[in-house]
Structure 1
Amino acid sequence: MIPSLLGLAALLLHLAGLCAAMHAVMHVRTPQGAVGWALALVFLPYLALPPYLFLGSSRFVGYVPLQRLRSRQAGRADWPGRGGYLARHPPQPACARYAAIARMLGGRFHGGHRLRLLVDGEATFAALFEAIAGAGHHVLVQFFIFHDDALGRRMQQALLERAAAGVAVCVLYDGVGCHALPHRYVEALRAGGVRIHPFATRRWRNRFQLNFRNHRKIVVVDGRRGFVGGLNVGDEYLGLKPPLAPWRDTHLELRGPAVADLQRSFARDWRWVTGAEPPFLPPREGEGAASVLIAATGPADRQESCSLFFVHAIHAARERLWLATPYFVPDAAVMAALRLAVLRGVDVRVLIPARPDHRMVFLASALHAHEAVRAGVRVYRYRPGFMHQKVLLVDDDSAAVGSMNLDSRSFRLNFEIAALAVDRAFAAEVEAMLRADFARADAVDVSEYRGAPFARRLAMHLARLVEPVL
């Protein structure tokens, strides 16, 4: 009896593996990924089925139709006087070379922004807490990670104080990114009047998914001040947790019409999770001279919008392209764009960490760094601590700050956001910041790979095989 039951179970597992393999062939985005999953599911269903349940899906179903429906129901795509506001603050002419990005994302550049570059955790959280403390109408907060530590509890208290003062406070956090967050942290906020929810897929199968994480970092205060960048809420982002300390990261504060686009991005995620509308206020009259496009990308997009964002920005470079990313695992399109930029005579530099926080990603990144160096890209490893910033500088007039990494998760699986700014003064600030970072970095040369032991080089190539799920 027992052998027959075991045989039946084995048969059912193989049938399930075959069905999953057909699903992978039909739905996995890349041919390499489809082949890898299909072979594993057919020949090793005992091992491959569980991870496929967690990692196999590559598309986020239902998000876009729901947003269109609820946007029509809400009837609030614009704010009163928006047309006149935008006419008084047109985008700079140089924005035209990024028109394809705007069309792809269904967005537009807006002029009239004042920008403040926040070059570390101390500056970022000082600005965030000052803005939140002055909120009079609403505070929108979205982070991938909250920790129940000193900084996390300070953020909790700041939000509770505003809620107690009658300010509408809405918080989104990622359920996987905050897997270690105690339930009491969330309940204390909820009991204090903060509307707080985890980002979730709400599909029976996708409840098991580790993909489709909401990696965005957004704070909006009263519709007038917006923040976006690479920092989450935790003591390590202040550089208080060795061995990765000091932590190197960058955030950006915006004042101007793009803050409304940050609110709209938050609203789309909030509607998906809650079915309700968050509070909204229009931005103030033009605060400065910078032009900004808010680039919100994710797995619900029809195209691989994050990867294409980088490809187009790289192609736009004529003199300089500097990138800072903690995870340098570019896909074929981005690597090809970097190679072409070098051939055009562009000064292409990439800043990556010297210390790992994820060992497999670090190994894959090391192999890509070697290939980039061979192609003429100047790659540098930041020495003092872990480098987590996500910054792009193009020529002498354009820069982007946000949550986007150069890896498959950001390109295809995570919801991400960045602000692309066209303004010579702001680009000069970013240039000065990155020059200081490069001065604290060591250049990578081919000896890093060629001089490594065989076992380490083998590990690099093995890590590249699993890039799609890193």
Structure 2
Amino acid sequence: MFWLTLALFIFIFQIATILILEFRRPAKSVAWILIMFVLPVIGFVMYYFLAKEYRNRHKIRKRGIPPEEVRLTALRRSKLVHRPSDMNNGEFQHQERLFHLLHHFTDSPITGCNKAEILTDGQATFDAIIAAIEKAEHHVHMEYYTIRHDEIGCKFKDLLIRKAKQGIKVRLIYDGVGSYELSSEYIRELKQAGIETECFLTPRIAFFDKRINYRNHRKIAIVDGTVGFIGGINIGDEYLGKNPKLGFWRDTHVRLEGDSVYYLQEVFLKDWWFTAREKLSDPEYLPQHHCSTDEQVQIVSSGPNSGLEEILECVFAALAAAKKRIYIATPYFIPDESLLMALRTAALSGVDVRIIIPGVSDSKLVLAASLSYVEELMSAGVRIYRYGKGFMHAKVLLVDHLLASVGTANMDLRSFYSNFEINALLFDPRPMKKIEEDFIEDLANSHELTLHEIRSRPLRSRFGQVVARMLSPLL
């Protein structure tokens, strides 16, 4: 009886600890309690190392603060948008609430002198980035979740080494988990050529510092502070369709010129300060650009070291403002309750809501969790499609003709709460038109699900999706 009582006490203590620490996010509490029931002791150890609340760590918040002169220089050189009436997009004239929310993000204001080019696949993206690096005269800054030692990875390695030998300053940040397969030989060759490389939280350090659950999921490149790239594409052969399981890889990236590159650069400088503890204050990192177009762009970054969920708040506000259409493409669809309600409400109000998710996925568990949301959304009028040409990895949101979002954040809880992410909000008709055209083509390559099809799925599939949904806050 003594040992039984002791075991019961320990179990109750573990459950109480989770309920107290995770009271702000009930869904996360349920997921961890489920794990506790299955793995009573091991589950609590997992919780201790994986679920540490990142944003409460004062030293981490402090390390994330950029040098002040970086921000001042960017503000002085940027053409900023301060009022809804200053927006080129006429639909914003009556969207004061949405505008003021976006304007509230003072770390990433709406900039007014930009040019955005939509890149629809891996080949176009790699060609554009390589072409920009070839022309580099001062520096190349790259930050990627995944870098692979494969054919395209070696092509970038050789190019960066060649540019470094020409006197170009090259810096590279890669994530310790996303790039865990990257060989030490690859990094050694870069360092021997004078390229500065930093790993964002190696798995060993992250594990013992209880931060392994928080990853740098950003995928950005900046050349000479005047050209920037942001989107869903890492550096690996699979993005060229060379993964035999996934096949064709559908993705979206953006090439930027103009004021927005300053804020893309600022994110890199923050992350370099975080990883290398080196302050980069050379004015050449924020040079005078020569972009003469007037496209308006906003760079929005978020992470667990912030007091806000900026990307989640942007997405929710955009969905709430929709009057005609909401188009979403995402590889991982695990919305929180606020987004689920916003999508259902929009569809019930007559908004054309369409969501494309993968037909074939790189994670069966995540796909099962995504499918668990389908029936309730379709019952409200949301149209769900499964992409059939290959793997859908694009992270795209298009709301009316109001705005489009392209970046690294998936439509899931991990991107909104746990990862370091970055998106570009585009407000002008030209890039939005290209995103719309790509989305329509993706619909043609997709299979639309029906309620009969969903309701007829086997009981085994239903049960698996329920379990996956309960665990989804941790995926």
Q: TM-score, normalised by structure 1?
A: 0.90
- Report the residue type matching 2:166 in the other structure: A
Shift of 1:300: 1.5
Q: Please give the residue correspondences for 1:137-148 in structure 2 after superposition, counting only pairs within 5 Å.
A: 137-148=138-149
Query: Is the partner of 1:248 in helix, strand or coil?
Result: strand
Query: How has the CA–CA distance of structure 1 residues 80 and 449 changed in structure 2, closer, same or farther, with 3 Å as cutoff?
Result: closer
CA contact (8 A) 2:30 2:470 kept: no
Aligned-partner residue type, residue 399 of structure 1: A
Which structure 2 residue ranges, 5 or more long, are not aligned? none
Of the candidates 415, 429, 433, which is equivalent to residue 428 of structure 1?
433
Pairing of 1:174-193 with structure 2 (within 5 A): 174-193=175-194
Q: How many residues are aligned here? A: 461
- Contact 2:31–2:473 under 8 Å retained in 1: no
Alpha-carbon distance in structure 1 between the residues aligned to 2:102 and 2:298:
9
Look up the match of 2:275: 273
- C-alpha offsets along residues 118-149 of structure 1, whole Å, 9 cap, x if unaligned? 00001000000000111111111011000110
| Matched-pair contact (CA < 8 Å) for 2:79–2:111 | no
In the TM superposition, what whole-angstrom CA distance separates every residue of 1:40-79 from its partner, at most 9, and x where no partner exists?
55995422133213422243423333333x524xx33232
Distance 1:319 1:407 in 2: 24
- 1:153 CA displacement: 0.6
Amino acid at match of 1:92: N
Partner of 2:61: 64
> Does residue 398 in structure 1 map to residue 403 in structure 2?
yes
- 2:259 corresponding residue in structure 1: 257
In 2, distance between residues paired with 1:85 and 1:295?
17
Q: Matches of 1:189 and 1:338 in 2, distance apart?
A: 46
Identity among equivalent positions (%) equals 35
Code of the aligned partner of 1:223: G
The answer as to 2:352 corresponding to 1:352 is no
The answer to whether the aligner puts 1:37 opposite 2:12 as a matched pair is no
Moved more, 286-295 or 432-441: 286-295
Query: Which residue in 2 is equivalent to 1:109?
Result: 110
AA at the equivalent of 1:238: L
> Secondary structure at the residue paired with 2:426?
strand
- Pair 46,123 (structure 1): closer, same or farther in 2 beyond 3 Å: same
CA, structure 1 residues 14+142, in 2 after alignment: closer, same or farther (shift >3 Å)? Answer: farther
User: Which residues in structure 2 correspond to 1:66-465 (within 5 Å)?
Assistant: 66-68=63-65, 70-72=66-68, 75-79=69-73, 82=76, 85-86=79-80, 91-92=87-88, 94=91, 97-104=98-105, 106-200=107-201, 207-278=209-280, 280-465=285-470
SS of alignment partner, residue 268 of structure 2: helix
Structure 1: segments with no counterpart, 5+ residues: none
Q: Which amino acid aligns with 1:266?
A: F
Distance 1:29 1:151, change over 3 A: farther
Displacement, 1:317?
1.5
Write the distance in 1 (CA, Å) between the matches of 2:416 and 2:179: 21
Deviates more, 1:234-243 or 1:202-211: 202-211
Change (3 A) 1:236 1:366: same
TM-score (structure 2 length as normaliser)? 0.89
1:29 Cα shift? 4.2
Residue of structure 1 aligned with 2:20, choices 5, 25, 46: 25
**Cα offset, 1:192, TM superposition:** 0.9
How much does 1:277 deviate? Answer: 2.5
Amino acid at match of 1:108: P
> Structure 2 counterpart of 1:59, which letter?
Y
CA positional deviation for 1:19: 6.5
Q: 1:333 to 1:121 in 2, by over 3 A?
A: same
In the alignment, is the contact (CA less than 8 A) between 1:98 and 1:316 conserved in 2?
no
AA matched with 2:430: A
Q: Secondary structure at the match of 1:76?
A: helix
Tell me, in whole angstroms, the C-alpha distance in 1 between the residues paired with 2:471 and 2:80: 46
* Whole-angstrom CA distance in 2 between matches of 1:468 and 1:105: 29
Q: Is the 8 A contact 1:28 1:56 kept in 2?
A: no
Following the alignment from structure 1 to structure 2, what is the Cα–Cα distance between the partners of residues 337 and 85? 33
In the alignment, residue 52 of structure 2 is paired with which amino acid? S
**TM-superposition CA deviations, 1:403-430 (whole Å, max 9, x none):** 1101110011001111001001221111
Distance in 1 between residues matched to 2:359 and 2:42, nearest whole Å? 34
Contact 1:170 1:194 in 2 (8 A): yes
For 1:29 and 1:155, the matched residues in 2 are separated by 43
Range that drifts further, 32-41 or 390-399 = 32-41
Shift of residue 349, structure 1, vs aligned partner: 0.7
